[in-house]
Structure 1
Amino acid sequence: MSKPVVAITRPKDRAKKACEIVEKLGGSAILAPTLDLEPVNSESLKNLVSKKDELDWIIFTSPTTIVSLNKFHPEFLKSLNCKLAVIGNKTGKLAEKNGLTVDLMPQDFTAEGLIEEFKKREITNQTIGIPRTASARPILPEELEKLGNKVILAEAYKSLFPMDDKTVKELIDMIENKEIDAITFTSPLTVENFFKIADNKQELAKILNDNLLTVCIGPITANVLEKYDIAYIYPDTYTVPDMMELLFKTWREENE
């Protein structure tokens, strides 16, 4: 059996582990980031840092948030004295690596999963800081406020259209030439930007459905794939390792 060629569209600074997993599982990885992440020391982030002592909770939704705080406000993490909720194993591990204790991590690694945990625990009348990207979905702060909490939002990084779209165009050429076996998407923006770069979106969608196995990290990203009529699969646990395990299991079953 030939080894599958897997396209990885996640940001470059997050893609190393994904590429390693592909190689370990017996595939060949092609990296073509459709999203760039840039830490920013925004006024809203400075405001959150200044209100550190008012916080009852802080929520980290991605590792990039922690990277940004470490870059611009390293003392903030060292002196943080509130409860911490995170979304995802990777975010939790990086928080712990920085000396923090994770008080809450939902089994469902989505904003919706975290909201359910806050509802179950009847967490209300709390001041909650959420440093994240400004382009993130509004559901998390909105639902926490509905529970009676005060939310302090802060922009910790920007989610940018890829500054180098040449590699994505090269990936699309490889897809059209049937040189790619599977493609992975780890966030809604990785899908949106991929199709923004494509000249013929309908034709590309048809090629993906006819020739590639499309795997995404979870239901939120899947919703965007549905918009483009792309057939997809995603794992029960929304992590990159589980996504890759599912990809290789499915690919081998289809190519035996």
Structure 2
Amino acid sequence: MSKPVVAITRPKDRAKKACEIVKELGGVPVLAPTLDLEPVNTESLKNLVERKDDLDWIIFTSPTTIVSLNKFYPDFIKTLSCKLAVIGNKTGKLAEKNGMTVDLMPEDFTAEGLIEEFKKRGITDKVIGIPRTASARPVLPEELEKLGNEIILAEAYKSLFPMDEDAVKDLISKIENREIDAITFTSPLTVENFFEIVDDKQKISKLLSENLLTVCIGPITAKVLEKYGIDHIYPDTYTVPDMMELLFKTLDRC
């Protein structure tokens, strides 16, 4: 039996682990990033750094935030004295590697999961810094603000349209030629950008539903797949390892 071919659409600099997991589980990874991430030093990020001593909490929603802060303000994380909340194991581990203590990480690795934890703990009237990409959903700062907190929102990186469109077009060709067994999406933008490049959206949506297994990381990304009418699955725990484990278990049953 030939090894299953799994398409990975996450940013290239964050796809190494996903490719390794696919190989470990007996598959062949095909990397075609539909999203690129670029750290940026913005005025809003500078303002956050300048207000470091005002912070009661800081929230890291992705590893790229930490990479960006270390690039432009290498002493910032080292000298933080506020509490830290993170979304996701990978972000938490990188924060700890940088000498921080994670005070809060929700079981549900989504903005909604973090909001629920803040509500449970009655965290209000605090100054909360949220460095992230400007294209992120507004729900996190909006809901934390409704709790009476002051939010310092800062753009730490840009989510860009894929630099290598040829790789995505090659993936689309492979899907049409039945050369892909499964495809993975790890954020809403990985789906949206993919379909920006697709010419015949209806055809590809049908192929993703009927001819291969479509797996996403969690319910937020799932909503975008639903918009395109694509059958999909996602794991109970919203991590890349859990997503890949579910993918291979499902393929084994087919």
TM-score between the two structures when normalised by the length of structure 2: 1.00
Q: Residues of 2 paired with 1:220 and 1:210: CA distance?
A: 22
Q: Residues of 1 paired with 2:218 and 2:175: CA distance?
A: 23
Cα RMSD (Å) = 0.4
Q: For residue 55 of structure 1, what is the aligned residue in structure 2?
A: 55
What 5-or-longer segments of structure 1 have no aligned partner? none
Q: Residues of 2 paired with 1:68 and 1:122: CA distance?
A: 30
Q: For residue 156 of structure 1, what is the aligned residue in structure 2?
A: 156
SS in 1 for 2:204: helix
Shift of 1:164: 1.3
CA deviations over 1:235-255 (Å, ceiling 9, x no partner): 00000000000000000101x
Q: For residue 14 of structure 1, what is the aligned residue in structure 2?
A: 14
Q: Residues of 2 paired with 1:95 and 1:177: CA distance?
A: 42
Amino acid in structure 2 at the alignment position of 1:26: G
How many correspondences in the alignment?
254
SS in 1 for 2:115: helix
SS in 1 for 2:75: helix
Q: Residues of 1 paired with 2:92 and 2:229: CA distance?
A: 34
Q: For residue 179 of structure 2, what is the aligned residue in structure 1?
A: 179
Q: Which residues of 2 match residues 1-256 of structure 1 at below 5 A?
A: 1-254=1-254
Q: Residues of 2 paired with 1:245 and 1:209: CA distance?
A: 19
Shift of 1:196: 0.4
Q: Residues of 1 paired with 2:100 and 2:74: CA distance?
A: 13
SS in 2 for 1:132: strand
What 5-or-longer segments of structure 2 have no aligned partner? none
Q: Residues of 2 paired with 1:83 and 1:210: CA distance?
A: 46
Amino acid in structure 2 at the alignment position of 1:217: I
Q: Residues of 1 paired with 2:178 and 2:147: CA distance?
A: 50
Q: Residues of 2 paired with 1:123 and 1:245: CA distance?
A: 35
Q: Residues of 2 paired with 1:209 and 1:129: CA distance?
A: 40
Q: Residues of 1 paired with 2:240 and 2:159: CA distance?
A: 19
Q: Could you tell me the percent identity over the aligned residues?
A: 81
Shift of 1:2: 2.3
TM-score between the two structures when normalised by the length of structure 1: 0.99
Shift of 1:72: 0.2
Amino acid in structure 2 at the alignment position of 1:97: K
SS in 1 for 2:76: helix
Shift of 1:163: 1.3
Q: Residues of 2 paired with 1:46 and 1:208: CA distance?
A: 43
